[in-house]
Amino acid sequence: MGERDRKRMKIGWMNHYHKIHVLWGVLTIVVIIGLSCSRTEVKRPIKIGLCIWPGYAHAFVAQEKGFFKEHKVSVELLLKKDTVEVVESYRRGELDGLFGVFPDIIMLNEEVIPTQVVYVVDFSVTGDVIVGRPELRSLSDLKGKKVSFEGINSFSHIFVLGALERVGLNEADVQFEIIPALEVLTALEEGKIDAGHTWEPIKSRALQKGYKILAKAGDVPGVIIDVLAFRAKVVTERPDDILRILRSILEAKGFTSSHRGEAMEIAARAMGTSAKELESGFSGIQFPDVRENLKVMTDAKGSMTLYRAGQMVIKFYEDHGQLSKRYNLHSIIEPCFLEQLAREEK
């Protein structure tokens, strides 16, 4: 055997030797890629339910102007008929989050659907009202009359009962009817009710027809605080997406300030109402900025904070026999996203 043959043989032998190690290497890479692929999950859009309410206009602006896409988050906004339908859809597991009212979020937690508030959208001052027949002079005149709210134990129920209690009326003094806010005017006209809880665009339409405002959200402070809330699981699993959603909404809020007309047109189109009615609703609500929001969500002692409002709502539910356990509001209010946004603003 010549030197060349031996060298060739050695190279062949080395090839065998290397093949084993290459084989193990390839197997290892395949396993690693396989494992990493199995953990890669295609992110589904975050479904958020909302109803017609001027305060939620920013969400539609964010969608229409592509702010969600810009912030690389996939969001599906699902417009429902009323807050009850939004909550029911959320209860059934069809939504990841909702634009809703704080008392409803507390009740969802009571129903063992862990839900966390991540952002305060607005405070209703004159946006929510109880409109009544023209002949009624005040809420006191509702004794023995029929008043509507949106759903049992909903924020609407609390608002109506809270307003009545302020004039010394309780549940035994009044009859009630469950009617969605958007159908209140029709119910009034059909004589089904004497007064009912509603908001824009029904508020303006009712006033135009001579109906009277008997109570405003500001009369029962702390009850009607609109918030953005998500399932606790979503908050835990997709915190980055929630932060992106909040950035998008804040950008939409900025856009609304600088291009009010266009923003109103966009939101009105999405909600199936008119820009004028929406504009009118806008004037009755307060939108906290990031700093105010953070204060509302973290300050437990302030006058207008979620904690204070939450305690009032919880007490109300407890007094009415609807809560069976004490709630730790820290588990319902999650300010970490606003803290991050506040840091970004500095």
Partner 1 sequence: MRFRTKFTFLSGGLILCIAVVITSFVYYSLVSTIELQIKSSLEELAHDIVDEIDKALYERHSDLKIIATDAILTSPSSTRKQITERLLVFRNTYKSYISFSFYTPERVSIADTSGLLLNTQDPMSPHWEEVLQGKMSSASDVAMSPSLRIPVIYFASPVRNSGGETVGYVVARIPVFKLYEVVEEVSGVYGGDENIEVEVADKRGIRIFSNHDRGTILTDTIYNWDAIQKLLAGMNVGTIMHEHASGEKYICALARERGYADFRGNGWTLAIHVPQKLAFASAVALRNKVAAIFIAIAVFTTVVISFFARTVSNPITKLRDFAVKVGEGKWDEGLAAATQDEIGDLAQSFNQMVGNLKNITASRDVLEKEIAERRRMEEVLRRAEGEQSIRNKIARVFLTASSPKSSEYKIFGVN
Nearer to partner 1, 51 or 57 (CB): 51
Q: Does 320 bind partner 1 (CB under 8 A)?
A: yes
Q: Does 92 bind partner 1 (CB under 8 A)?
A: yes
What is the length of the chain? 346
Query: Which x/- pattern, by CB under 8 A, does the window 200-239 give for partner 1?
Result: ---------------------------------x------
By the 8 A CB rule, do 121 and 97 touch?
A: no
Bridge pairing between strands 75-80 and 46-51: parallel
Query: Which x/- pattern, by CB under 8 A, does the window 266-295 give for partner 1?
Result: ------------------------------
By the 8 A CB rule, do 264 and 278 touch?
A: yes
By the 8 A CB rule, do 313 and 103 touch?
A: yes
Q: Does 33 bind partner 1 (CB under 8 A)?
A: no
| Beta carbon of residue 145, minimum distance to partner 1 (angstroms, whole number) | 11
- Reply yes or no: is the peptide bond before residue 201 cis, omega within 30 of 0: yes
∠ Cα 238 314 232 (to 5°): 10
C-alpha closest to that of 142 among 195, 213, 186, 209:
195
| Beta carbon of residue 307, minimum distance to partner 1 (angstroms, whole number) | 23
| Beta carbon of residue 16, minimum distance to partner 1 (angstroms, whole number) | 4
Nearer to partner 1, 170 or 328 (CB): 170
Of 301, 325, 326, 346, the one binding partner 1 (CB under 8 A) is 325
Of 83, 109, 124, 153, the one binding partner 1 (CB under 8 A) is 153
Nearer to partner 1, 89 or 340 (CB): 89
The CA distance from 197 to 144, in Å, is 17
Q: Does 24 bind partner 1 (CB under 8 A)?
A: yes
Nearer to partner 1, 16 or 343 (CB): 16
**Per-residue three-class SS string for 58-113:** HHHHHHHCCHHHHCCCCEEEEEECCHHHHHHHHHCCCCCEEEEEHHHHHHHHHCCC
What distances in angstroms separate CA 55 from CA 50, 59, 158, 191, 278, one per listed residue?
10, 9, 20, 30, 9
∠ Cα 229 230 236 (to 5°): 130
Q: Does 35 bind partner 1 (CB under 8 A)?
A: no
Q: Does 63 bind partner 1 (CB under 8 A)?
A: no
C-alpha closest to that of 332 among 171, 100, 146:
100
| Beta carbon of residue 104, minimum distance to partner 1 (angstroms, whole number) | 13
Of 105, 106, 174, 245, the one binding partner 1 (CB under 8 A) is 174
Q: How many residues bind partner 1 (CB under 8 A)?
A: 36
- Per CB under 8 A, which of residues 112..141 are in contact with partner 1? 112, 114
Q: Collapse the DSSP code of 33 into the 3-class scheme (helix H, G, I; strand E, B; otherwise coil) and give the result.
A: helix
Q: Does 100 bind partner 1 (CB under 8 A)?
A: no
Binding site for partner 1 (CB under 8 A): 1, 6, 13, 16-17, 20, 24, 91-94, 110-112, 114, 151-153, 170-178, 233, 318-325
